[in-house]
Amino acid sequence: MTSSPHFTPPRRRYSYTGPVEDQESALRLPLCLTEQTLGFKLTWNTAKMPSTKKILLFLSSALVTAISVGLLGFAMSAQWADTTMVCEASEGGNVTGTAVVKMSLFKGVLTKVSCPLGGEDRFDVFPTLTLIGVSPLAVHGLLVSLLALCLLFSAGSILISLYNSVSNPYETYMGPIGVYTCSSLSACLSVLVLIIFALNLGVTSMPEDLVNQVSNIKVDVRNKSLQMQLGYFLVIPYTVMSLCAVLLIYLYDHASYTQRRQQERPTEDAPKEIMMY
């Protein structure tokens, strides 16, 4: 009496340590070599190099993020807003002038016309806000801190994208999940910066306090008007580019998932004659 033949799966040939990335190799396998016929899970070793499509998409994501970092860095050094106010001396008088506060994140210029005198005064934002009070200093410090976090998360997104262009850490936080997290946080924080900065100048009394603090003369200011400048508007393309980086990685992630589903489909639809081979 002969015992039934025992099939030993060629584990050394099909052993692996990660998910399927090399779809071309997967498609060259015969249909009979499936998980159902072999009795174990087929996997592939893809530790060498990622696919060309993955390299291009992750490098594109890194490039887009790097450009956005350059824009944000320039924005932080540019002028952000002009606040124009009507002013007159507190002691009374019929002379009415204007005061314009031009602000960047770290420097500012106060231009006065008959307020009650004319002239131009330059000031450092943080030391001047320290003299005004804790609240405006805290809000402005929060803005700069959020922008610094944006740069930090963007740098993380660049490093993860470059790492994925030469390796396959697909299922870990160093894979697409890392890019999703870093770029999404960068976009959300930059939007928060735009909102807080506009509210800080348009709603609070910080511009009026700056006029009185810098000019060293007590004046009454009213009819405040706010006009955003280049530094403020450059944050918008930074936000858009951060979202584009997420989109590029999503395109790769979606394509990879679709290919894995297509690979599993022939196994489900294969005829019984092939499955029993």
CATH number of the domain bearing residue 246: 1.20.140.150
Give domain status of residue 273, yes or no.
no
* Contact (Cβ atoms closer than 8 angstroms) between residue 57 and residue 250: no
179: containing domain: 52-253
Instruction: Tell me which of 259 and 85 has the higher pLDDT.
Output: 85
Give domain status of residue 21, yes or no.
no
Q: What is the pLDDT of residues 137-187, one digit of tens each?
A: 999 999 999 999 999 999 999 999 998 888 776 667 788 888 999 999 999
Averaged confidence pLDDT in the chain: 79
The greatest distance separating any two alpha carbons of the chain, rounded to the nearest whole angstrom, comes to: 121
Q: Strand 219-228 relative to strand 79-89: parallel, antiparallel, unpaired?
A: antiparallel
Give domain status of residue 220, yes or no.
yes
Task: State whether the Cα torsion 26-51-48-163 is positive or negative.
Answer: negative
Q: What is the pLDDT of residue 230?
A: 95
Give domain status of residue 72, yes or no.
yes
Q: How many Å from the N-terminal Cα to the C-terminal Cα in the chain?
A: 24
Rg (the chain; Cα; Å)? 31
Q: What is the pLDDT of residues 176-229, one digit of tens each?
A: 888 999 999 999 999 999 999 999 998 888 998 898 888 877 888 888 899 999
Give domain status of residue 195, yes or no.
yes
Give domain status of residue 219, yes or no.
yes
Task: State whether the Cα torsion 46-52-55-58 is positive or negative.
Answer: negative
Highest mean pLDDT among 53-67, 75-89, 125-139, 181-195 belongs to 181-195
Instruction: Tell me which of 10 and 99 has the higher pLDDT.
Output: 99
**Chain position carrying tokens 């015969």:** 30
Q: Cβ–Cβ contacts within 10 Å for residue 267, how many?
A: 16
Answer whether 0.85 is exceeded by the pTM: no
- Report how many domains make up the chain: 1
Give domain status of residue 207, yes or no.
yes
Give domain status of residue 276, yes or no.
no
